[in-house]
């Protein structure tokens, strides 16, 4: 979660409730396993967890018993009492808990500065006690267990977790749970989890015949079927047409780039671990392209010296990029090693930043609305501490000022997040919520004063002198693969009619109706409607069921009556059955639905 959102969450009643429930869970676990060693137990988004070093693996039966005991503890109404103690007192209190001792010793040393040097500002050490359980904790907590509804808590799962995330340290058992204010909220949360499983794009993608992953090809490298490729084509064509309408020009810059270009741009120092290994030819290192901006900037430079009258210049490209993601971090289409990005770079003067931001914003809004993402927030991603950012305070300040002014002028409601900027500049990131309330970062607009200067980009200004252009980096849907995964889950595979790979399926009742079905399918295709005939020997009801499972918008059943009257019997994928309709009437109805997206 973003920094400010996290701060707000930590101040909320829900956070206190979940943090307190984590302590209650730890008490129940220690009662069941008296020799257990406890580590940490924070509240997290939508729940909490606690890490334990236990004498044996936790079983589902254990979870049921622990959850039952948690409800008993909650009903007894214990207070949560805070106490400030010294480090020596804490060590005596937790003498038999090695993970707590390590945390206490860390607190004794105080915090560290950016270079890892101790500041020796020793933080306050506090504990919280309820019933028989005491934990090293800064809080906050509810006043007593009576503020927790015992029917609004549930243990979810168990997973392995290395102590402090270090694979060289002990492997602990992490028990996840969730807690809500009311049982109805818990019920709604569990429903959303089940619905998310049903909507999982990896399962739906296979069921709908859209894409596959193969060990023969390699992890993170999706293979798209004809249906899947058609879906990609429709998505990209829509954005391409819209970009053209908004004045963007499409370019192509290939798949391989000399490594030296990324050293000049700054990407090598910041992203070399995410690049595939180099290919060497006559002592020249080449890399599979992990990003487009250096190539687009080079193209701008190679096209000759530009006049301010040529600006803004907008380059767009659907380029396949390659990221050497770790195998364990790959997640279906939402995290892959080959991705196609709807990337754009706008070369403009400083005075044009506001108008270009507004143009890009309008395009993004139009696309998000089309895909039914009306609920989104905008994050102003700024520099944080650390060395990943190019050190040029003057250019950073210019970029941040320009981006803020552009967002304010557009009337955007946004929040700030330190540490989320690109290494070369601040970003406006559009984070959309899907129908299940999950957040996805989709679109972005970035202001870059740094890379154009590093790569030697210039234009002749109105004063006759050379100036360095500003570059706005802009992506609408981000990567085609990731966005496809998101919308599969957003629509549960039931895409809007304009986007459905198959828009209508003809279902002949008997073999004698096959010719009529093929004739209708041909007429539909000639009008631009994507249609197919289910010519299998299956029964009609089975064909209808299969078409519904394939999320095909229109099912057109044809039998003797339909042949005689030049009609089709219309059924919809949501189960509605409008009945017989003239072919021309159906074509008009479907075409209108498709045209309005």
Task: Specify whether 255 is catalytic.
Answer: no
For 355, how many CA atoms within 13 A lie in the half-sphere containing its CB?
12
Token pair listed for 4: 């400010």
Which of 62, 135, 343, 534 is an active site residue? 343
Nearest residue to 511 via CA among 532, 531, 546, 540: 540
Strand-pair partners of 47: 44
Which of 427, 490, 513, 571 is an active site residue? 427
- In degrees and rounded to multiples of 5, residue 388 shows phi and psi of -80, -15
Which of 19, 154, 337, 345 is an active site residue? 345
β-pairing, 470-479 vs 504-508, is: unpaired
Q: Helices 583-595 and 514-526 sit at what angle, rounded to 10 degrees? A: 40
Task: Specify whether 130 is catalytic.
Answer: no
Query: What letters, b where the CB count within 10 A reaches 16 and e where it falls short, cover 513-523?
Result: beebbeebbee
Residue ranges of the alpha helices (H) in 122-266?
Answer: 183-199, 201-207, 226-245, 259-265
Which of 135, 173, 293, 296 is an active site residue? 293
- Rounded to whole angstroms, how far apart are CA atoms 364 and 580? 40
Task: Specify whether 348 is catalytic.
Answer: no
Which of 141, 473, 490, 551 is an active site residue? 473
CA 289, chain centre distance (Å): 22
Contact 204, 492 (CB under 8 A): yes
Which of 27, 173, 341, 567 is an active site residue? 341
Please report, in angstroms and rounded to a whole number, the separation of the first and last CA atoms in the chain: 32
Contact 488, 205 (CB under 8 A): yes
- Rounded to whole angstroms, how far apart are CA atoms 81 and 103? 21
Nearest residue to 499 via CA among 567, 597, 405, 410: 597
Scanning the structure block, which residue is given the tokens 């406890």?
38
Q: Is 33 exposed, middle or buried (0-12, 13-18, 19+ CB in 10 A)?
A: middle
- Rounded to whole angstroms, how far apart are CA atoms 487 and 480? 10
Task: Specify whether 343 is catalytic.
Answer: yes
Q: Is 443 exposed, middle or buried (0-12, 13-18, 19+ CB in 10 A)?
A: buried
Nearest residue to 450 via CA among 580, 278, 574, 269: 269
Q: What is the 3-state secondary structure (H, E, C) of 284-311?
A: EEEEECCCCHHHHHHHHHHCCCEEHHHC
- Rounded to whole angstroms, how far apart are CA atoms 425 and 398? 10
Scanning the structure block, which residue is given the tokens 């252009």?
469
Task: Specify whether 473 is catalytic.
Answer: yes
Which of 141, 174, 323, 337 is an active site residue? 323
Token pair listed for 31: 């009662």
- Rounded to whole angstroms, how far apart are CA atoms 210 and 200? 13
Cα separation values, 178 from 137, 174, 190, 469, Å? 19, 13, 10, 51
Which are the catalytic amino acids? Answer: 293, 323, 341, 343, 345, 427, 473
């Amino acid at each position: 979660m973003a920094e400010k959102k996290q701060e707000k969450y930590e101040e909320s009643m829900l956070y206190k409730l979940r943090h307190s429930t984590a302590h209650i869970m730890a008490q129940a676990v220690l009662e069941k396993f008296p020799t257990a060693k406890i580590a940490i137990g924070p509240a997290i988004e939508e729940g909490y967890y606690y890490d334990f070093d236990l004498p044996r693996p936790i079983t589902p039966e254990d979870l049921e018993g622990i959850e039952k005991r948690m409800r008993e503890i909650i009903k007894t109404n214990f207070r949560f009492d805070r106490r400030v103690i010294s480090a020596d007192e804490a060590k005596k209190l937790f003498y038999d808990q090695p993970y707590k001792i390590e945390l206490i010793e860390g607190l004794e040393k105080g915090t560290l500065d950016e270079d890892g040097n101790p500041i020796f500002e020793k933080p306050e050490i506090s504990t919280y006690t309820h019933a028989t359980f005491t934990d090293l904790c800064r809080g906050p907590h509810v006043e007593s267990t009576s503020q927790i509804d015992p029917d609004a808590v549930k243990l979810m799962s168990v997973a392995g977790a290395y102590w402090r995330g270090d694979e060289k340290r002990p492997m602990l058992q992490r028990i996840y749970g969730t807690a809500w204010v009311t049982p109805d909220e818990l019920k709604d949360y569990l429903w959303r989890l089940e619905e998310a499983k049903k909507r999982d794009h990896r399962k739906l993608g296979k069921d709908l015949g859209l894409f596959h992953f193969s060990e023969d090809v390699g992890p993170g490298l999706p293979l798209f079927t004809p249906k899947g490729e058609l879906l990609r084509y429709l998505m990209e064509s829509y954005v391409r047409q819209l970009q053209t309408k908004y004045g963007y020009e499409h370019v192509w810059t290939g798949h391989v780039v000399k490594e030296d270009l990324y050293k000049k741009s700054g990407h090598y120092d910041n992203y070399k671990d995410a690049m595939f290994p180099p290919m060497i030819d006559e002592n020249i290192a080449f890399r599979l392209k992990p990003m487009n901006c250096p190539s687009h900037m080079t193209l701008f430079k190679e096209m000759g010296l530009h006049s301010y009258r040529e600006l803004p210049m907008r380059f767009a490209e659907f380029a396949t990029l390659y990221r050497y993601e770790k195998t364990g971090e790959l997640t279906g289409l939402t995290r892959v090693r080959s991705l196609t990005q709807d990337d754009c770079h706008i070369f403009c003067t400083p005075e044009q930043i506001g108008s270009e931001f507004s143009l890009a914003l309008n395009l993004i809004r139009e696309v998000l609305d089309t895909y039914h993402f009306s609920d989104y927030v905008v994050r102003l991603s700024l520099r944080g501490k650390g060395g990943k950012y190019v050190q040029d305070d003057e250019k950073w300040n210019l970029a941040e000022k320009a981006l803020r002014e552009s967002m304010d002028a557009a009337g955007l409601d946004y929040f700030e997040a330190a540490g989320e900027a690109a290494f070369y500049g601040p970003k406006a990131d559009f984070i959309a919520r899907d129908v299940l309330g999950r957040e996805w970062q989709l679109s972005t607009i970035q202001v870059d004063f740094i890379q154009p200067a590093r790569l030697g980009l210039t234009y002749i200004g109105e004063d006759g002198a050379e100036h360095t252009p500003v570059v706005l980096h802009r992506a609408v849907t981000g990567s085609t693969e990731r966005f496809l995964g998101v919308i599969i889950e957003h629509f549960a595979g039931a895409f809007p009619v304009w986007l459905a790979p198959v828009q209508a399926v003809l279902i002949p009742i008997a073999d004698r109706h096959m010719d009529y079905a093929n004739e209708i399918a041909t007429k539909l295709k000639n009008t631009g409607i994507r249609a197919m005939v289910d010519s299998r020997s299956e029964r009609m009801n089975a064909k209808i069921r299969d078409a519904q499972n394939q999320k095909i918008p229109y099912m057109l059943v044809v039998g003797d009556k339909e042949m005689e009257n030049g009609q089709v019997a219309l059924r919809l994928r949501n189960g509605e059955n409008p009945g017989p309709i003239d072919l021309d009437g159906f074509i008009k109805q479907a075409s209108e639905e498709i045209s309005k997206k």
